[in-house]
Amino acid sequence: MEKAGHLVGVVAGHPSLAIRFFDACVREGRGLSSKTRLEMMDEWMPGLLNLKKTGEEEAMVALSRTVIQLKDNGAQAVALVGDLSPSLLRRLRFVFSIPIFALSDFAVEQISLAHPRPNRVGLLTPLEAQAEFYCSILAPAGIDGVRLPATLAAELGKVVADYEGFQGTGKERVCRWVMASLDYFIGAGVELVLVASKHIPPLEIRSGSLPFPLFQPIERLAKAMICQLLEQTPADLPETSRSLERTD
């Protein structure tokens, strides 16, 4: 790999999440050299992100092996596209010297960019475990995480599970149930909605008609990582290229 390029390792609980993150990096890749590449770990690591089932020690071992593999392949940074506990992140960052980015970094720290100090945050996800995770992250900061009612979450989960390609009628069905969820959050008086489900793609919603901003951690993670990489990019690299090469 040429000295001017960057190789970023991407670890996700499922390949579709890695691809979504890759696409977000392309959208956020202003000024990136075309030499910059992303290497994705394509194997599915089921249960890795659910520490109640996996256990933190087992997750630490699995993630450490993966980070070592990515470093050996030349990765200069690693993006963890999953909900990892702060304690696990601290351990990983203590062991490894390369930058490690994670979605849970943005649950509190970066949320202030969308709202100065929200008291109630709606959690847009059909998954109870995921809503519980974000509630546990937000609670220490004095932020109340508002979950969807069980019936509404179940219906949203069905359309997300059936969704393929986010095109045509699939897109319309997902948008309809997402809007129903947002209507619930309007009635609940939330000040911001966190799109916690990473399986819900970026939506073409008239955000101007909503009384709160939408916050998408995957987009924030991509943007923060790109910004840090650009700080390390030599000044003589092209400033207009937006392309990222995928490694096979």
Q: Where are the domains of the chain?
A: 7-104+219-246, 115-212
User: Which CATH number does the domain 7-104+219-246 belong to among 3.40.50.1860, 1.10.20.10, 3.50.50.60, 3.30.1490.20?
Assistant: 3.40.50.1860
Per-residue pLDDT, 223: 77
How many whole angstroms separate alpha carbon 59 and alpha carbon 91? 11
Q: What is the pLDDT along the chain (248 residues), one digit of tens a residue?
A: 333 456 777 777 666 677 777 777 777 665 445 455 666 654 444 444 454 555 777 778 878 888 888 888 888 888 887 767 778 888 989 999 888 888 767 666 667 666 777 889 999 988 887 888 888 888 888 889 999 999 999 988 888 777 655 555 567 788 888 889 999 999 999 999 988 776 676 665 655 678 888 887 777 777 777 777 666 543 333 332 223 333 33
Dihedral, 202, 207, 210, 214 alpha carbons, nearest 10 = 40
CB 18 within 8 A of CB 79: no
- Identical fold for domains 7-104+219-246 and 115-212, yes or no, is yes
Per-residue pLDDT, 36: 56
Collapsed DSSP state (helix, strand, coil) of residue 168: helix
Number of Cα atoms under 13 Å in the Cβ half of residue 118: 30
133-162 burial: b if 16+ Cβ within 10 Å, else e: bbbebbeeeebebbbbeeebbebbbebbee
Number of Cα atoms under 13 Å in the Cβ half of residue 155: 13
Per-residue pLDDT, 6: 64
**CA R_g for the chain:** 18
Per-residue pLDDT, 114: 66
Q: What are phi and psi of 36, to 5 degrees?
A: -70, 135
| Edge-first strand listing for the sheet containing 120-123 | 144-146, 120-123, 192-194, 214-215
What's the sign of the alpha-carbon dihedral 166, 169, 173, 179? positive
CATH for 115-212? 3.40.50.1860
Helix (H) or strand (E) holding 163: none
